[in-house]
Chains A and B, each alone.
Chain A
């Protein structure tokens, strides 16, 4: 049984299937997600597959600042992903709502609605940062195992924007205030 669990953990880390969801993004981050699958970056080496159906996915990649229209859709799609699952917020928008902060059309940031495991800030983040985020999320997923989702561990922040990009930082401070 212990051996089976270790094998399962190993396989979960090596086969992250993604479902990509746009919650009002400008398409910048969506293009970067596709770029991370193209020959230059080739995320398939880590076993990454972009799936068409949320039922098949392990990791939900959300882009965009979460408009009011998108809230229910995000919750539905999050429910449609079978556990164990993880959520990556790609770009500065789902992390802090970025330059759209205080807009009356937004209900963001994303972690008000679903538990987020990895933030990949950037406007847009580089494909290598996205791949690093996917690898981190897969490791979190494998460690989480069959424990219920939503028990939020401390979210990870990855990428070159993490911590030294002033626009996100000031926005984050405003959100917290």
Chain B
């Protein structure tokens, strides 16, 4: 009974939905504000993502008919629920039974929103949506290799795929290498400059989101914010030192995520968008070598141990 209550609390309250949705809005605001400050502007007010969300919910809903229309309605909902589930899996608090964050499930859930974006662009049948989806697919094929290899090297060097066990083990030098590799992949995963190819607004309008409006667009914004929370939270749990007091652990988690958001936004505002072939070459040629080296050394260390 106790286990059930704690796991429900983790999924629904912290770091689950009750925490994740305001955190998503907060991180979206931090991103916009940081970019504005870097450009010498003042930037949007604190509540801006909340205002945007409520306004989008209140707009007219597009009429969609047939199987394609139903699919178009379903994609943003699937993306939001998968991203929220990924946030709920993060082992922020010292584990006391319940569901122990499984790395493979977390990775699968983190991947669902980008799959949904690809599918949404193609089912919208707009030219810009299809170009955006194709770019997202190419991007996901290139950064995911490095991302997964980095995760595998971390998991292999510490003999576990359990995220809570990983979070408790002391960080080895190899894990830091993996964390850097994950950080290199995050801008592509979150569609930030220099890898903001799928939603390149000066080239292909809004990419896969071009045909979305009103409440559906609100769900996409929310799922993007939740992706922010889940992706930065994954790095934060890997970096965070092991703490016993639950509120200190929660505070450290939030602070670390905040700094990662800040770092990514600063990089985003300091860089310009790369071309798709340059991006693919960057991931396949430059970072892949390091990721393969990390996995090889992880396996080598494991053989020696």
Contacts and interface: CB of A to CB of B under 8 A. Distances in A.
A15 B59 contact: no
B39 to A, nearest CB: 6
Interface stretch (A22-30, A40-48, A111-119): A40-48
B210 interface: yes
Interface stretch (A51-59, A65-73, A86-94, A158-166): A51-59
Interface string B48-68: 101110110011101000000
B58 A56 contact: no
B217 A14 contact: no
B55 A15 contact: yes
Nearest to B52: A15
A132 to B, nearest CB: 18
B23 to A, nearest CB: 20
Interface in A64-84: 82-84
B56 to A, nearest CB: 8
A44 B213 contact: no
Nearest to A12: B55
A28 B62 CA distance: 34
A12 B206 CA distance: 21
Contacts of A47: 44-45, 48, 51-52
A8 B205 CA distance: 27
A11 interface: yes
A53 B300 CA distance: 51
Contacts, number: 86
Interface string B133-148: 0000000000000000
Interface in A4-33: 7-8, 10-12, 14-15, 17
B212 interface: yes
Contact of B45 (A45, A52, A53, A83): A45
Contact of A55 (B43, B48, B210): B210
A23 B204 CA distance: 20
A11 B41 CA distance: 22
Interface in B283-302: none
A17 to B, nearest CB: 8
Nearest to B203: A52
B209 A45 contact: no
Interface residue tally on B, bucketed by range: 20 to 34
A47 B202 CA distance: 20
Contacts of B50: 11
Contacts of A11: 50-52, 54-55, 58
Given A42-B42, A44-B41, A82-B59, A56 B209 contact: yes
Interface string A128-144: 00000000000000000
Contacts of B212: 55-56
A53 B36 contact: no
Contact of A39 (B41, B205, B209): B41
A52 B36 CA distance: 19
Contact of A42 (B36, B58, B204, B211): B36
B59 A83 contact: yes
B48 A15 contact: yes
Contacts of B205: 52-53
A45 B42 contact: yes
A58 B60 CA distance: 11
Contacts of A12: 55, 58
B214 interface: yes
A14 B214 contact: no
B192 to A, nearest CB: 16
Nearest to A42: B41
B40 interface: yes
A58 B58 CA distance: 11
Interface of A: 7-8, 10-12, 14-15, 17, 38-39, 42, 44-45, 47, 49, 51-53, 55-56, 58, 82-84, 146
19 contacts: A8-B54, A8-B58, A11-B52, A12-B58, A14-B47, A14-B48, A14-B55, A15-B48, A42-B41, A42-B43, A45-B41, A45-B42, A51-B201, A52-B204, A53-B205, A53-B210, A53-B211, A55-B213, A56-B209
**Which 5 pairs, one residue from A and one from B, show the smallest C-beta to C-beta distance?**
A52-B205, A11-B54, A52-B201, A55-B213, A39-B40
Interface of B: 32, 36, 39-45, 47-48, 50-52, 54-55, 58-60, 62, 128, 201-202, 204-206, 209-214, 217
